[in-house]
Amino acid sequence: MDDQHPNAERAYTRKQWKRAVNSSAVLGWLSIAVPISAGMKSAGLLQFFSILIWAAAIGLPIAFIASWLIAAPILNRLMRKNISWFQAVIWGGAIMFLIALASIAIGRFRGWIQSVDPSSFSQLGGGDKVREIDGILTSYGWLNLAQNTATFVAIGMVISLVVRFAIGPGGRIS
């Protein structure tokens, strides 16, 4: 059947699409929240879980909103056909890059707003590792942002492989 036809047979079901979007959100949140919670200075098991609960309260809604706003439309289009492992990696990285780009744009806009306020002074970092002064990134800040973005995109590639494994190769039988 023609792929553009509204009644064309899709490779994945609507249920698989929803599972892919929701799984991506949860795995994305876990890949950020668990290392941050584990890396806190007060490293007791009870503190880890209490921090993780707060991370869930704040991070899970953000993860689901980002997944449904950015990943869901892309996956809806992609999942019309079978998705190979290579396509999963490429698109997982691309989706995470779009999410990172949105975050960077918001952060840089907030930095610009802060930079035009003459009554305030702020600095993130110290010594040779100053990342930001008055909302404007330093050279080290840009490097740090690039490294974090690359890590975020790599995490997206791994998540896409896990999701692809979970939903299968496609080609549903109606």
| CA proximity to 23, closest of 168, 123, 164 | 164
Residue pLDDT, tens place only, 136-171: 999 999 999 999 999 999 999 999 999 999 998 877
In single-letter form, the type of residue at position 56 comes to A
Sign of CA dihedral 99, 105, 111, 114: negative
Residue 121 or residue 5, greater confidence:
121
Q: Are 55 and 33 in contact (CB under 8 A)?
A: yes
Is the residue at 120 inside a domain? Answer: yes
pLDDT over 90 for what percent of the chain? 62
Is the residue at 144 inside a domain? Answer: yes
Is the residue at 18 inside a domain? Answer: yes
Residue 110 has pLDDT above 50, yes or no: yes
**124 three-class SS:** strand
Q: How confident is the model at residue 39 (pLDDT cuts 50, 70, 90)?
A: confident
Is the residue at 129 inside a domain? Answer: yes
Q: Can you tell me which residue has the tokens 């930095």?
A: 111
Q: How confident is the model at residue 73 (pLDDT cuts 50, 70, 90)?
A: very high
Is the residue at 6 inside a domain? Answer: no
Is the residue at 7 inside a domain? Answer: no
Is the residue at 52 inside a domain? Answer: yes
Is the residue at 66 inside a domain? Answer: yes
What's the whole-model pTM score? 0.80
**Where would I find the H helices in the chain?**
14-38, 45-66, 72-78, 85-115, 139-167
Which of 20-34, 120-134, 157-171 has the lowest average pLDDT? 120-134
Q: How confident is the model at residue 51 (pLDDT cuts 50, 70, 90)?
A: confident
Q: In what order do the strands lie in the sheet with 123-124?
A: 123-124, 132-133, 136-137
Cα distances (angstroms) measured from residue 117 to each of 110, 133, 136: 11, 12, 12
Query: Can you give the residue range of the structural domain that contains 118?
Result: 14-167
User: What is the domain count for the chain?
Assistant: 1
